[in-house]
Amino acid sequence: AQSVTQLGSHVSVSEGALVLLRCNYSSSVPPYLFWYVQYPNQGLQLLLKYTTGATLVKGINGFEAEFKKSETSFHLTKPSAHMSDAAEYFCAVSGGNQGGKLIFGQGTELSVKP
């Protein structure tokens, strides 16, 4: 079975500050990991994904995440927050025989203060 835990349902940062959204996963098979962003009243958009290979993954809008197998983590970071980053962020895992199924975390709402 697979599961995802996102630490912190709400994170608030100041504009220009570091963004760190935490994601830990559990998987009995090699995981495929994803971060999605959801802006108000919209669907989910892929930020970045880890499949195999390089453990530091770069995504859109200046976000990146590092896959750490020993820590079962896939934390999302951005060096400098922008007001437009305010949204809800979801970490998800798939793998093995899960097919097209994604297992999502609970989500983290990011607020950016001016």
Partner 1 sequence: NAGVTQTPKFQVLKTGQSMTLQCAQDMNHEYMSWYRQDPGMGLRLIHYSVGAGITDQGEVPNGYNVSRSTTEDFPLRLLSAAPSQTSVYFCASSTGRNTEAFFGQGTRLTVV
Residues that bind partner 1 (CB under 8 A): 4, 6, 9, 32, 34, 36, 41-46, 49, 51, 90, 92, 94-95, 98-107
Of the candidates 52, 48, 24, the one whose C-alpha atom is nearest the C-alpha of residue 108 is: 24
Least Cβ distance, residue 41 to partner 1 (angstroms): 8
CA 50/CA 58 separation, integer angstroms: 9
Least Cβ distance, residue 104 to partner 1 (angstroms): 4
Least Cβ distance, residue 26 to partner 1 (angstroms): 15
Nearest residue (CB) to partner 1, 80 versus 106 = 106
What are the CA-CA distances from residue 2 to residues 18, 33, 42, 63, 72 (Å)?
A: 29, 11, 26, 24, 12
Nearest residue (CB) to partner 1, 18 versus 54 = 54
